[in-house]
Amino acid sequence: MDLAGCDPYGRPFQPYVVLPARVLALLGLGLAQTGVLGVVLAALWVGLIGAVATWIAARWSRGTGELLLALAAVAVVGVAPPSLLGVERGSLDVTVVALALGGLLVIAATDVGRPGVSRAGHWVGQVIGSVALALTVVLKFFAVGVFAAFFAPRRWRLLPLLVAAGTAGWLLLNLDDVLLASRTAGSDVPSTTRIMFSATTGFVTWLTEDPGAFFPAEGQELPMGLLRVLGVLIVLAFAAGFWLLLRRMPDAPYSSWLLITGGGFILLIPYVLGESNDYRLIVLLLPLAGLLRWRAAAAATGWLWVVVGLIVAALLTGSAMVPNEFGFLMPKPVLLLGDLALAGALGFALAV
């Protein structure tokens, strides 16, 4: 089979397809089942939204008004443009979110000292969770940041760190595939916020005259290195501000910490290194769940709603590629605010 010919955009061979294709082939599934697999991924996404909403509601101890606001935020993420784009394209990023969410929560639920968790239960849970996180990276290389949650001095855990080291070694052995996947995805192509997100897309959008353009005008030269540095500095500025606020707050529950840091770093690494497709923003479901869990568990955390707002704004302004059926096209200033909101959300994940 000509794998390159299967791509409707005629892009080069994409190494991401190899492992899923082999697994599906073992199950007797092929191109004829593409539609069914797309429906399964869509159902998985709906299930994830329902599971997160249920998990938050079951642990909520504050007012009904705030609970409704929390559930509304989760629902908006479920139908935001990047989410619908990922579902429409049948993106494996939905599976990445599911594995990362499940892996992090299993590790948190079986952590040392948790009530009712035996020593054997602890190790079984840590193995299952760590393997799930490793699978996220095997499916999509950019998700390697999910292990960042285990590198903090007071939060590190031995088994996830060992699996992280093994996963890093696997990536190095497959470095050619990693680089090929990056090139195929167009991570080195200057792009506007209409189709991508990164540390530079906001600047490219601002400096590109055509408000509906996906790329800079032909022949337009932009100082991409400088723009990337400026974009990273904006994230660091947000991180510094949030760090000062966090010093006056109670510590986050371990599950919140894992979801905010792990989910944030899944996006932060590709955000810094190059351009990424907007549907990857569905990973923001993880830090959103962590924030809402934190708000439910601790007092003096009301300002966390600001970060929730940043996540929702980033998702609502993503994937603004074409006008809707009424001819409305997301204005450039709104796109720039969305870029700034994403930088703020990632800065918070870095500060935590």
Residue 206: per-residue pLDDT: 94
Q: In this structure, are residues 286 and 253 in contact, taking their beta carbons and an 8 Å threshold? A: no
Contacts of 150 (CB under 8 A, 6+ apart): 156, 157, 160, 161, 164
Question: What was the pLDDT predicted at 15?
Answer: 61
pLDDT at residue 4, rounded to an integer: 46
Q: Given this model, what pLDDT does residue 177 score?
A: 74
Q: From residue 18, give the alpha-carbon distance in Å to each of 23, 26, 163, 186.
A: 9, 12, 22, 19
Compute the distance between CA of residue 343 and CA of residue 334 in angstroms, rounded to an integer: 14
Asked if residue 162 belongs to a domain, the reply is yes
Residue 9 lies in a domain: no
Four-residue CA torsion sign, 260, 261, 262, 268: positive
Q: Structurally, how many domains does the chain consist of?
A: 1
Work out the angle between the directed axes of helices 34-58 and 64-79 (0-180°, nearest 10): 170
Which alpha helices (H) appear in 220-284, and where do they start and end? 224-246, 254-273
**CA–CA separation, 206 and 192 (whole Å):** 8
Of 157, 350, 193, nearest in space to 267 by CA: 350
Question: Is residue 120 in a domain?
Answer: yes
Identify whether 328 is part of a domain.
Answer: yes
The pLDDT of residue 34? 76
Inside any domain, residue 75: yes
Per DSSP (E only), the strands in 89-178 are none
Please give the full DSSP string across 172-193, using - where no structure is assigned: HHTHHHHHHHHHHTTTTS---T
The answer to whether 2 and 58 have CB atoms below 8 angstroms apart is: no
Residues, the chain, total? Answer: 352
Q: Which pair of tokens denotes residue 304?
A: 């966390």
Copy the structure tokens of residue 78.
């479920």
DSSP states along 196-209: EESSSHHHHHHH-S
Pairwise CA distance, residues 199 & 230, whole Å:
8
For the record, the structure tokens of 34 come out as 């593409």
Q: Which residue range(s) make up the domain with 293?
A: 16-23+35-351
Q: Residue 196 phi/psi, 5° resolution?
A: -140, 170
Any idea what DSSP says for residue 43? H
Tokens 């299993």 locate to 106
Tokens found for residue 296: 């439910």
State the Cα–Cα distance between residues 78 and 84, nearest whole angstrom: 8
DSSP secondary structure code for residue 168 in this structure: H
Spatial separation of the C-alpha atoms in residues 190 and 130, rounded to whole Å: 35
And the tokens for 173? 């052995």
pTM over 0.75: yes
DSSP 44-102: HHHHHHHHHHHHHHHT--S-HHHHHHHHHHHHHHHHSHHHHHHHHTT-THHHHHHHHHH
Mean pLDDT, each 10-residue run in order, the chain (352 residues): 50 61 71 81 96 94 91 96 91 94 95 82 92 92 90 82 91 80 76 92 93 88 94 98 90 92 95 91 97 84 93 94 79 94 97 91
Amino acid identity, residue 176? Answer: D
pLDDT at site 3: 47
Amino acid at the residue 76: V
Q: Which element (helix H / strand E) includes 276?
A: strand 276-277
For residues 123 and 106, give the distance between their C-alpha atoms in angstroms, rounded to a whole number.
11
Sign, CA dihedral 310-39-50-97, equals negative
Paired tokens of 257: 């910490």
